[in-house]
Chain A
Amino acid sequence: MLYFSKLRIILIISISLFFILISFNNLFSSDKRYIDKKINLGLDLQGGSYLLLEIDNSPVIEQKLQNTATLFRTFFKDKNIRIGNLKITNKKILFSVESQFKQNVIEEFNNENSEINPYYPRFKSHQFDIKDLGDTLELSFSQQGLVKLKTSSQDQALEIVRRRIDEIGTNEPNILKRGNDRVLVELPGLDNPERIKSLLGKTANLTFRFVSNDNQDSFGVEKLKYENNIDEDFVSKRIILSGDNLLDAQPRMNNQTNETVVSFTLDRVGAKRFGKATSTNIGRQLAIILDGKIISAPVIRDTIASGNGQISGGFTFQSATDLALLLRSGALPAPLNIIEERTVGPDLGQDSINAGMIALIIGFSLVIIFIFVKYKIFGLITNITLIINLLILLGILTLFEATLTLPGIAGIILTVGMAVDANVLIFERIKEELKNEKNNIIAFDSGYTKSRTAILDANITTLLAAIILFFMGSGPIKGFSVTLGVGIFTTLFSVYFIARLLTSIYVSKNKNKEVSI
């Protein structure tokens, strides 16, 4: 156990030096680094915001069912099959057909090449499941149909969230999918997420619809409130123009009224439609509706054919800027709810770094002093090993650009405390062996051999705990499991290669003297 070949010694030294050099990389500013890697600080250390958003898919489901119902009603009408009692309740479509057509209809839905019910060969499933309830038929999303719908609205939401955050211009935002109906947003360095939260909280669904004077027709008309929540107007359900047709939107100052407005530019299709609608409806009020609330309802005075227009509605400069931003980046497919939020201010982050470092230095010093007092020369070996161990650990974290969190620093300190365990096990064993064995080399050798199973067992148990934490934990806790887990490997390396090398050098120099631990 004590013999090292030259090649092995060179290998050990070069591996150690490699990681130690990488760990020093963190001390330099970015332009002086020899490789472009460093440890990332977690949000709890550098400050920033963590937001977990959940997509509320129920309006999307509702909308999709509505579309599907319209679609298959026309489809069967063309085949002279009348769909009756069409109703959407509880995320299901209920309808009835004359009994002689029932089997036909069911078959039409279950056909692999169905025009009205797409089939996913990958999942071996249709979009909708049809159920025969006797008098009525029930159409509902299949499991795969729902998954498809959720992932597609998640994809869209992710894109829109990214655009909105990019517009605000924070540094290095992290926007990730979670599950199939969540989006995780990490914003380093941001200490006041209120603006982003309010921007992400809006669907930004913009529509232009005529104000209706005919409030008897309840089918094509709905009553909507103004932004001030007091005034109301009846508005046609027919959408003249939606936010999809917008090319650009900017906040502007209207020189005539001295009011902040949002000016917009429409795409070609939108401009054409807008021109036509305005030319035939001069004198009518056109309501501009955002997320179910009327911003304003100006009277059309002239045909607007240029595709340029402006929205006024008592904006402040800030609210006009935000609205323009929302309109530029597009509407979310569904509302987002913030279900988890964690924000750490930059000065608390700095305080945490300082506290963590002080705890690390003090903990490290206490352990080193204790071990030195206890084991003298072998304590020195242990301590050298411990320092190299710590540097290699930092080197590995740097190489993989791991994220260091406050619990992660605790993990490093804990590693220091537990890393000595392996050396202690070995030295205690050697001590016992020396009682019966006069030959130093044999005693040391068997000390190493006999303590090995206990050391492996001990480290495997801790490693298992770290692995479970890594997969179950989130955010800062994950950082803890990473340092704890990586610490086990560096500990084993430094104990079995570095400490053993140093021990073997010492023992072979003092072969015939009495060695005491």
Chain B
Amino acid sequence: MDAENQTTIMRIADEYGAENVLVFLGAGDVEGVEISAETLVVGDPSFAGPLAGVQLGLQVYHILEPSLKQYIPGDLYEEKLGIFELVIDGQQIEQSLSKLREQANN
């Protein structure tokens, strides 16, 4: 996750309180999603951005996690996300992020 996005999310968490912020990721590759999620939960693993050593402990989801689909209007989902659902493995991402969310809660 680049430094600019880290700065933005840090500012939002600061303004509204980390417990009131949910983050939805959209990247297509599992590894990239994991790195971004890790950055927002336990801090920047590359120690390059403003979240280096900062544990925001945010709740992080991916927009294509199958269990979230029910909350998005069907036509909007089809228009904006339908194409990605064909090629991004939402299920694998959900498994990976669920583990991270469990760790963050413990």
Q: Are A and B interaction partners? A: no
